């Protein structure tokens, strides 16, 4: 049965970030993910997790320039030292937050670079980073991202991500399979879940409605069907990962994110976010 994690970078935009932990717990989530923890002391974040009975299941390694112009350093020529420092910082935060997995963003293909040259740097950086993460028993994740949202992003397809993992050859390097991006880039999502979940190389799933990236009950994907497929395949292969709810709530302005969680409350899913006593 799917286990859902609240993505605190996108859910609860009506609240200050540090207040989103309590809101997610109040809505029944038992796990959270978010993009970048680095603006906050790790001990403060750990305290919010503990106070609200939440697990941290994912966050991202530093993306490069803090102005958002860069989306990862892993494939960028000449930025290897900065990449390694970022991985070290991410691993420190993962230790403090007891977080088992870190998303390492590939980065944007620089104008004038060739994809082959970029891939060689990517593989070399990932091989080093995976060995570092293995020292503390953590997984690193690669996420194919669509180029409509992120033009020039290097990694876009599930088969490419799995090929890179094959090249790197590290058992703790896995795919962050965001079904929103998968639908936009490739489609055929249910078949790709059936194909890739049993591989043992999918470390995390994420969902959002397509194309608006709102709640999963808005848009062209039938998530109730996809959740049933995930249930069926996970029961067969033993996949026990989390599904990150990485969407922009439609209700953020009106009734808040919570009002938009009926898609989850109405479903027959594990850990249904029934309202906690006293909520
Ligand atoms: O863009 C996404 O879908 C992600 O999950 C990245 O971690 C943030 O850009
Ligand atoms: Mg994602």
The preferred substitution site among 143, 174, 179 for testing ligand 1, maximizing ligand atoms within 8 Å of CB, is 143
Q: What is the pLDDT of residues 74-115, one digit of tens each?
A: 999 999 999 999 999 999 999 999 999 999 999 999 888 888
Ligand 1 mutation pick, 35, 149, 247, max ligand atoms within 8 A of CB? 35
Ligand 1 atom at minimum distance from 208 CA: 3
Query: According to the 3-state scheme, what is the secondary structure of 109-175?
Result: CCCCCCHHHHHHHHHHHHHHHHHHHHCCCCEEEECCCCCCCCCCECCCCHHHHHHHHHHHCCCCEEE
Are the CB atoms for 64 and 89 separated by under 8 Å?
no
Residues framing ligand 1 (Cβ under 6 A): 35, 60, 103, 143, 145, 178, 181, 206, 246
- Report the half-sphere exposure of 49 (CA within 13 A, side-chain side): 24
Confidence of residue 253 (pLDDT cuts 50, 70, 90): low
More confident residue, 273 or 176: 176
Starting from the CA of residue 149, give the closest ligand: 1
User: How far apart (Å, rounded) are the C-alpha atoms in residues 237 and 59?
Assistant: 25
Ion ligand 2 neighbours (CB, 5 A) are 178, 206, 246
2 pLDDT more than 50: yes
Q: Domain residue spans in the chain?
A: 3-265
- pLDDT category, 269, cuts 50, 70, 90? very low
- State the residue for tokens 């043992």: 200
Clarify whether 82 is annotated catalytic: no
Taking CA 100 as the corner, what is the angle to CA 31 and CA 77, rounded to the nearest 5 degrees? 120
Note if 80 is an active site residue. no
Q: Does domain 3-265 have CATH number 3.40.50.620?
A: no
Q: How far is CA 208 from the centre of its chain?
A: 12
Distance from residue 183's CA to the centre of ligand 2 (Å)? 12
- As a whole number, mean pLDDT of residues 186-211 equals 98
Q: What interface predicted TM-score (ipTM) does this complex get?
A: 0.97
Task: Enter the tokens of residue 225.
Answer: 């069907």
Is a pLDDT exceeding 90 seen at residue 33? Answer: yes
- Of the listed ligands, the closest to the CA of 148 is 1
pTM (two decimals): 0.94
């Amino acid at each position: 049965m799917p286990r859902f994690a609240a993505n605190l970078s996108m859910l609860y935009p009506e609240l200050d970030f540090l207040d989103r932990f309590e809101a997610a717990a109040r809505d029944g989530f038992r796990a959270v993910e978010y993009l970048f923890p680095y603006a906050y002391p790790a001990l403060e974040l750990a305290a919010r997790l503990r106070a609200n009975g939440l697990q941290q299941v994912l966050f991202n390694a530093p993306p490069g320039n803090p102005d958002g112009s860069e989306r990862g350093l892993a494939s960028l020529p000449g930025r290897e030292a900065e990449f390694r420092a970022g991985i070290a910082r991410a691993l420190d935060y993962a230790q403090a937050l007891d977080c088992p997995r870190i998303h390492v963003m590939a980065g944007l293909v620089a104008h004038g670079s060739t994809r082959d040259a970029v891939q060689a740097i990517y593989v070399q950086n990932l091989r080093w980073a995976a060995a570092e993460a293995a020292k503390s028993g953590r997984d690193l994740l690669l996420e194919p991202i669509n180029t409509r949202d992120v033009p020039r992003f290097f990694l876009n397809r599930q088969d490419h991500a799995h090929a890179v993992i094959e090249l790197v050859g590290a058992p703790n390097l896995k795919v962050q399979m965001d079904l929103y991006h998968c639908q936009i880039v490739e489609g055929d999502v249910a078949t790709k879940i059936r194909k890739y979940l049993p591989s043992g190389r999918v470390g995390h799933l994420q969902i959002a409605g397509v194309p608006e990236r709102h709640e999963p009950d808005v848009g062209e994907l039938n998530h109730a069907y996809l959740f049933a497929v995930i249930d069926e395949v996970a029961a067969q292969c033993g996949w026990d990962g989390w599904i990150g709810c990485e969407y922009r709530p439609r209700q953020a302005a009106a009734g808040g994110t919570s009002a938009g969680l009926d898609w989850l409350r109405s479903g027959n899913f594990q850990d249904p976010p029934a309202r906690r006593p006293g909520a």
